[in-house]
């Protein structure tokens, strides 16, 4: 069920401490950790601790929690001293979503092209 931990979800396992991750920030409702396959010098994922399959489901069900994730993304950028950065929610397989637990990518530390591919 939306909001409940899922046994087969990688990011729920990271929240539970059952899969290791390099955690950079944690709040009551969110965790931020380094992406295992970084696409930029800074590539951090910010997730809600509660399980929602993507940003669309999260925003619809828990808009305050969605705002927590967005605020944490900005806090990561501050901590990493990023002057320019990108916050991305890949939403749906066609947009490149591969992990079905909502997450924001925080990317920075190099020049980023727009539009992305
Ligand atoms: P998506 O493609 O769903 O937007 O992003 C999923 C991200 O999770 C990818 O950038 C991928 O590198 C990252 N990822 C996949 N497995 C792991 C893992 O076990 N640990 C960490 N830290 N990141 C992971
Ligand atoms: Zn999950």
- From the CB of 21, is ligand 1 less than 6 Å away? yes
Active site residues: 103
**Mean pLDDT to the nearest integer, 38-54:** 98
Per the domain annotation, does 64 fall within a domain? yes
Per the domain annotation, does 113 fall within a domain? no
- From the CB of 93, is ligand 1 less than 6 Å away? no
pLDDT, residue 98, reads 98
Beta-carbon contacts of 69 under 8 Å, excluding residues fewer than 6 positions away, are 30, 46, 47, 48, 58, 102, 104
Please report the ipTM that was assigned to this predicted complex.
Answer: 0.99
pTM for this prediction: 0.98
What proportion of the chain, given as a percentage, has pLDDT over 70?
Answer: 100
**pLDDT of 117 strictly over 90:** no
* Residues around ligand 2, an ion, CB closer than 5 A: 6, 9, 11-12, 51, 101
Please report which ligand is nearest the Cα atom of 7.
2
Per the domain annotation, does 115 fall within a domain? no
Alpha helix ranges (H) inside 17-115: 55-61, 63-79
Per-residue pLDDT of 76-102, as tens digits, reads 999 999 999 999 999 999 999 999 999
Per the domain annotation, does 58 fall within a domain? yes
- Tokens 């990688």 belong to 10
Which atom of ligand 1 lies nearest, measured to the CA of 19? 19
Within 10 Å of residue 7's Cβ, how many Cβ atoms? 6
Residue 103 belongs to domain spanning: 10-108
Per the domain annotation, does 1 fall within a domain? no
| CA 13 – ligand 1 centroid, Å | 13
Q: How many domains does the chain have?
A: 1
According to DSSP, the β-strands at 23-26 and 85-88 are unpaired
Question: What end-to-end distance do the CA atoms of the chain give, in Å?
Answer: 33
**pLDDT of 26 strictly over 90:** yes
Per the domain annotation, does 117 fall within a domain? no
CATH number, position 74: 3.30.428.10
Residue of 24, 25, 7 whose CA lies nearest to 16: 7
Per the domain annotation, does 19 fall within a domain? yes
Question: pLDDT band at 1, cuts 50/70/90?
Answer: confident
């Amino acid at each position: 069920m939306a909001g409940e931990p899922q046994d087969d979800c990688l990011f729920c396992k990271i929240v539970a401490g059952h899969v290791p991750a390099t955690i950079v920030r944690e709040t009551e409702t969110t965790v931020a950790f380094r992406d295992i396959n970084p696409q930029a010098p800074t590539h951090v994922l910010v997730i809600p601790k509660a399980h929602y399959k993507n940003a669309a489901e999260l925003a619809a069900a828990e808009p305050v929690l969605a705002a927590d994730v967005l605020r944490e993304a900005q806090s990561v950028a501050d901590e990493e001293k990023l002057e320019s950065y990108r916050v991305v929610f890949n939403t749906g397989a066609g947009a490149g979503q591969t992990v079905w637990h909502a997450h924001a990518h925080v990317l920075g530390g190099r020049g980023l092209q727009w539009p992305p591919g």
